[in-house]
């Protein structure tokens, strides 16, 4: 049986990073839906992230997206985050929202455009220096829509050259998180389409290049927990972008579409002794809250990850190993299902109470009146959202 005290300690130590862009306006490919009270600048995004941490106790870092969160003084922004009791996490680049990148960024056939894109990656490392950030998260929309449009191998060479120049610019405490995506916006071929491509480039770069798994970036039916297990074995799993999908890259709240999958993923993390922040994996959210209120949606998402983690920690690993070694298929599956079917909400309420938090984070936020306050006070100006 799981050691309940150890389970509580692990849940208390858990850390989940939230994304600045999740606090701003977002939408579908057809419409960005504006909400009252959303942030008007990066500082207000940080303030909202601090609210999430206030009620969950496990979300002390917020990822930035450049240029959406561009400011004149990043050291000052970092100091403001610290004054709120949080810190700046990963720095995300943007090489997909410029007309120059229509045919790709770092893989573009035009050397001028490749230089422009690579310079942006280097700019992000400069920002990391100013904020103390450890992680540079790279996602490339680069790819092809038609056979013959460009040379597939040449594009891999161009990608490798940009990654090498960026990697060589990193400080000793910094690393690259290389994300992948099956398709979209390129439909015929994507330059970093899967974990294998990301893994191969990371191996080529060195030990401070690791793979980022976005849970929405796979083909239907993909066994993501196998990818987790493999990358853990190779010590090349650096981060997650947690979200949910029904069809493609839906960016819905993590745990909302397939909570059993999230449990299976977190079990591999627990089984690999990789839950502790000291291991180095960043558990980040990457979501767009198009129709729901932002802050409570992110609080709920953090809670979903906590619940999946708690269930994973409750797996009776001794009993599971015995059943597996005996070839007892049904019993092995039953051990996992027993943990998954456990109602862990009372356990998490105890963990929060022990930490001096309200056992009901969503209820506490609603009772705080913060939502009504930001709706009343954040008026005028340009409210931050996609492309801000």
- The pLDDT value recorded for residue 35 is 92
Query: Looking at domain 16-308, does it have CATH number 3.20.20.150?
Result: yes
Measure the CA dihedral 336/341/347/348, to 10°: 90
- The pLDDT value recorded for residue 147 is 98
**Which residue ranges make up each domain of the chain?**
16-308
Q: Which two tokens stand for residue 99?
A: 């007309």
- The pLDDT value recorded for residue 207 is 98
- The pLDDT value recorded for residue 2 is 78
Please report, for residues 80, 118, 380, the alpha-carbon distance to residue 383 in angstroms, rounded to integers and kept in the order given.
20, 29, 8
Number of continuous H segments (helices) and E segments (strands) in the chain: 14, 12
Residue pair 230/265 in contact by the 8 Å Cβ criterion: no
Give the integer Cα–Cα distance in Å for 200 and 197.
Answer: 5
The DSSP code for 117 is H
Give the integer Cα–Cα distance in Å for 123 and 283.
Answer: 24
Residue 241 DSSP SS3: strand
- The pLDDT value recorded for residue 387 is 62
Q: How many CB atoms lie within 10 A of CB 356?
A: 7
Query: Can you give the pTM of this predicted structure?
Result: 0.96
- Give me the sign of the Cα torsion angle 231, 199, 251, 36: positive
Give the integer Cα–Cα distance in Å for 256 and 382.
Answer: 31
Q: Which residues of the chain have pLDDT under 50?
A: none
Which phi and psi angles does 178 have, rounded to 5°? Answer: -100, 110
- The pLDDT value recorded for residue 383 is 83
For 228-258, the pLDDT digits (tens) are 999 999 999 999 999 999 999 999 999 999 9
């Amino acid at each position: 049986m799981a050691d309940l005290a150890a389970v509580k300690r692990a849940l208390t130590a858990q850390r989940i990073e939230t994304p600045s862009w999740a606090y701003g306006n977002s939408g579908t490919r057809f419409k960005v839906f504006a909400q009252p009270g959303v942030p008007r600048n990066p500082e207000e995004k940080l303030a909202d992230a601090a609210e999430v941490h206030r009620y969950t106790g496990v979300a002390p870092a917020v990822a930035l997206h450049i240029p959406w969160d561009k400011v004149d003084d990043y050291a000052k922004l970092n100091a403001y985050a610290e004054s709120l009791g949080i810190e700046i996490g990963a720095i995300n680049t943007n090489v997909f929202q410029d007309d120059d990148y229509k045919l790709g960024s770092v893989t573009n056939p035009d050397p001028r455009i490749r230089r422009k894109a690579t310079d942006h990656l280097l700019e992000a490392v400069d920002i990391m220096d100013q904020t103390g950030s450890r992680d540079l998260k790279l996602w490339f929309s680069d790819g092809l829509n038609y056979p013959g449009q460009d040379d597939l191998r040449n594009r891999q060479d161009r990608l490798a050259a940009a990654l090498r120049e960026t990697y060589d610019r990193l400080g000793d405490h910094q690393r690259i998180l290389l994300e992948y995506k099956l398709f979209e916006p390129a439909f015929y071929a994507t330059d970093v389409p899967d974990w294998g491509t990301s893994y191969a480039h990371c191996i080529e770069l060195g030990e401070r290049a690791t793979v980022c798994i976005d849970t929405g970036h796979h083909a239907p039916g993909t066994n993501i927990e196998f990818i987790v297990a493999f990358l853990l074995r190779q010590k090349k799993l650096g981060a997650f972008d947690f979200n949910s999908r029904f069809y493609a890259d839906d960016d819905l709240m993590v745990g909302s579409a397939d909570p059993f999958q999230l449990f299976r993923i977190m079990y591999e993390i627990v089984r690999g002794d990789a839950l502790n922040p000291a291991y180095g994996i960043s558990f980040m959210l990457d979501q767009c809250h198009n129709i729901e209120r932002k802050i409570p949606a992110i609080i709920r998402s953090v809670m979903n990850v906590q619940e999946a983690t708690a269930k994973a920690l409750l797996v009776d690993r001794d009993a599971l190993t015995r059943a597996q070694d005996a070839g007892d298929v049904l019993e092995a599956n039953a051990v996992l299902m027993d943990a998954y079917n456990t109602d862990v909400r009372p356990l998490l309420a105890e963990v929060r109470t022990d930490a001096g938090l309200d056992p009901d984070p969503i209820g506490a936020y609603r009772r705080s009146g913060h939502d009504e306050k930001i709706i009343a006070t954040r008026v005028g100006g340009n409210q931050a959202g996609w492309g801000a």
